[in-house]
Chains A and B, each alone.
Chain A
Amino acid sequence: MPDLTPARPREEDHGTLRRVALLGGIYSNYLALDAALAVARAREVDAVYALGDFGAFGPHPDRTVERLRDGGVACIQGNYEESLAAGAGDCHCGYTDPRDNHFAQISYDYTRENTSAEHKAWMGTLPGHVRLRVGGSRLLLCHGSPRRINEFLWRTTTPDAFIRRTLAEFATDVVVCTHTGLHWMRFPEPGRGVLNVGALGRPANDGRTHVWCAIVEDHGGVLRAEHVPVPYDHERLAREMTAEGLPAEFVETVRTGWWTTCLEILPAKERAAGRF
């Protein structure tokens, strides 16, 4: 019988660090990336990690990639990087509803057409997992979930039992992820749990225009994790998106803080919390 076990991605071990900044999906929001890198500098972090999905949604995808590469940000692959590097025809975001896939395809086509070949090749060299140790906890950085690059770990559909199983399966204390675009964390035991860092690419569907990243640090030998709001010039981003011909629905999200697209994938409670 053939081996049908899903393959695990390439992994790097980056050792023990004191304080790190963790950036979720950037979705070409290079203005928010600049603001997040300023936060990281102000907090005197040892390293900055970007957890994939550098493109999508926003304008001028190369501007984000240039900043990541020039700024010494340690990057892992998201489904966007995996797809762009492979020359895939869609983002493999993991949406199931045609309404979600319609807008996802617009994002992907724009990003693919506006990302340089050299950047796409670089995306193919990135690891899928990075392991760190902070404050006595082992961290596993990934994009969606440790087992699947495009799995959505939402707050209300990721129960404690599943978290414990995942931590045991991947021999880690904390899974650090993004992909949902909504930040949350839950630690069923001290120092052991899931930290979803949210996204820099679009606001958190709460009527506020800022975006989010996370910082973890060694706090007297114990891991401390926090979500950090990142205000940025969202009006400028909105103008640039309009000038690039990106959908008015996307621009509305940037201006209002409410998601207008890719809503069908949301679990019941996350959906009910939004406007649309």
Chain B
Amino acid sequence: MSAFPSAPLVALDTLWLQVAGTLCNLRCTHCFISCSPDNHAHGMMDRAAVARVLQEAEALGVREYYFTGGDPFLNREIFELAADALARGPLSILTNGVLLKPEWCARLRELSDASPYSLDLRVSIDGWDAATSDAIRGEGTFERILWGIGNLARAGLNPVVTVTEACAGAGSVAGRTRLLSFLTSIGLARPRLKVMPLLRLGVEAQRSRAYGPAETLRGVSLTAAEADVLQCSSSRTVTSRGVFVCPILLDAPAARMADTLSGSLRPFELRYPSCHTCHVEGLTCRT
């Protein structure tokens, strides 16, 4: 018998597509998959590849789609990919926001209006001022992110803003209150906020610390309810290299489950320290 519990694939509800692979225009120091302008570990997905995945996902009854990377807006076909997904279900696009010029936001608004389903943009920021955020995301990025968020808001798209706990205190009541008040101050009348725990993987393992030996699910048994809330019980992630269990474990060879979605519909052994984060902190990458 395995020393680690397994998460059953209860239902494939959520499909993540790594449409920009690990390519990013920023080089954030807390990135758990070390995305950067020169990380080609996972490549761009073209429209034909995405269409094949969407077709299989639709046949499997997938409920929602997420585009991530890297930054999805580095993919030159991003608007076509988004339209293809929105024809099938709700879509969330995770972005650092720095490329979101007004014309692109207007196009996103058109795509949203043309679909019966919801389009969400999720923009990451790492604090309530340039000093805090730029230390993680790079010099000058804070103002540029705010510009992108502002352009979304002016196009009538109210983004979800995500902040990690690299921003000290972000998860506390005081931290959330301060972040919400900051978001209101930059023109988001109905601020939407998601605070996420850190994953001690990728370059984050050098910035703060790596996982310690106690951060493991070895010997833990899960109840059905505990297994049900793990994102790996209801989602898979597709990259240019195949189907992975989740968007977090893209650097873990055993987390690559199959070439196709239908081949990946089986339990996953929770052997990684980040599985501990998902279980103990209730982390889900969904909004």
Q: Are B221 and A2 in contact (CB under 8 A)?
A: yes
Residues of B within 8 A of A165 (CB): 60-61
Query: How many pairs, one residue from A and one from B, have CB atoms within 8 Å of each other in the complex?
Result: 84
Chain A nearest Cβ from B15, distance in angstroms: 11
A and B contact pairs by CB, cutoff 8 A, 14 listed:
A2-B222, A4-B10, A4-B222, A4-B227, A159-B90, A162-B61, A162-B62, A162-B63, A162-B89, A166-B61, A267-B90, A268-B118, A268-B157, A268-B158
Q: Are A269 and B118 in contact (CB under 8 A)?
A: yes
Interface size class of A (residues with CB under 8 A): 20 to 34
Residues of A within 8 A of B222 (CB): 2, 4
How long is the Cα–Cα vector from A270 to B142 in the complex, in angstroms? 30
Interface string of A111-152 (1 = CB under 8 A from B): 000000000000000000000000000000000000100000
Chain B nearest Cβ from A159, distance in angstroms: 4
Chain B nearest Cβ from A265, distance in angstroms: 10
* Residue of A whose beta carbon sits closest to that of B60: A165
List residues of A (222-267) whose CB comes within 8 Å of B's CBs.
Answer: 263-264, 267
Chain A nearest Cβ from B192, distance in angstroms: 7
The prevalent SS among residues of B at the interface is loop
Q: Are B228 and A6 in contact (CB under 8 A)?
A: yes
Q: Are B118 and A158 in contact (CB under 8 A)?
A: no
Q: Are B62 and A5 in contact (CB under 8 A)?
A: no
Residues of A within 8 A of B221 (CB): 2
Chain B nearest Cβ from A136, distance in angstroms: 24
Q: Are B119 and A268 in contact (CB under 8 A)?
A: yes
Residues of B within 8 A of A154 (CB): 118
B237 at interface, CB cutoff 8 A: no
Q: Which 6 A-B pairs have the closest CB atoms?
A: A165-B61, A159-B89, A156-B118, A267-B118, A268-B118, A162-B63
Residues of B within 8 A of A270 (CB): 118
A161 contact from B8, B88, B156, B190, Cβ within 8 A:
B88
Q: Are B10 and A6 in contact (CB under 8 A)?
A: yes
Q: Are A5 and B10 in contact (CB under 8 A)?
A: yes
B64 at interface, CB cutoff 8 A: yes
Chain B nearest Cβ from A274, distance in angstroms: 9
B6 at interface, CB cutoff 8 A: yes
B90 contact from A3, A156, A264, A272, Cβ within 8 A:
A156
* Residue of B whose beta carbon sits closest to that of A270: B118
B120 at interface, CB cutoff 8 A: yes
Residues of B within 8 A of A42 (CB): none
Residues of A within 8 A of B140 (CB): none
Q: Give the A-binding residues of B (Cβ under 8 A).
A: 6-8, 10-11, 13, 57-64, 88-90, 112, 116-120, 156-158, 173, 176, 190, 192-193, 221-225, 227-228, 267
Residues of B within 8 A of A264 (CB): 192
How long is the Cα–Cα vector from A97 to B191 in the complex, in angstroms? 12
> Which of B60, B118, B119 counts the most A-chain CB atoms under 10 A from its CB?
B118
A164 at interface, CB cutoff 8 A: yes
How long is the Cα–Cα vector from A276 to B223 in the complex, in angstroms? 38
How long is the Cα–Cα vector from A5 to B233 in the complex, in angstroms? 10
Q: Are B88 and A271 in contact (CB under 8 A)?
A: no
How long is the Cα–Cα vector from A268 to B113 in the complex, in angstroms? 11
Residues of B within 8 A of A3 (CB): 224
B224 contact from A6, A157, A162, Cβ within 8 A:
A6
How long is the Cα–Cα vector from A159 to B86 in the complex, in angstroms? 10
Chain B nearest Cβ from A9, distance in angstroms: 14
State whether A161 and B58 are in contact (beta carbons under 8 Å apart), knowing that A268-B118, A268-B120, A272-B158 are contacts in the complex.
yes
A72 at interface, CB cutoff 8 A: no
Chain B nearest Cβ from A161, distance in angstroms: 5
Q: Are B112 and A161 in contact (CB under 8 A)?
A: no
How long is the Cα–Cα vector from A234 to B62 in the complex, in angstroms? 40
Q: Are B158 and A159 in contact (CB under 8 A)?
A: no
* Residue of A whose beta carbon sits closest to that of B115: A156
Q: Are A5 and B8 in contact (CB under 8 A)?
A: yes
* Residue of A whose beta carbon sits closest to that of B113: A269
Residues of A within 8 A of B158 (CB): 268, 271-272
How long is the Cα–Cα vector from A272 to B153 in the complex, in angstroms? 11
List residues of A (149-179) whose CB comes within 8 Å of B's CBs.
Answer: 154-159, 161-162, 164-166
B89 contact from A4, A155, A161, A263, Cβ within 8 A:
A161
Q: A154-B118, A269-B112 are in contact. List 16 more A-B contacts (CB 8 A).
A: A2-B221, A4-B228, A5-B8, A6-B228, A97-B193, A156-B116, A159-B89, A161-B60, A162-B62, A164-B61, A268-B112, A268-B118, A268-B119, A268-B157, A271-B190, A271-B192
How long is the Cα–Cα vector from A218 to B42 in the complex, in angstroms? 54
How long is the Cα–Cα vector from A127 to B224 in the complex, in angstroms? 21
Residues of B within 8 A of A6 (CB): 10, 224-225, 228
* Residue of A whose beta carbon sits closest to that of B284: A96
Residues of A within 8 A of B64 (CB): 157, 159
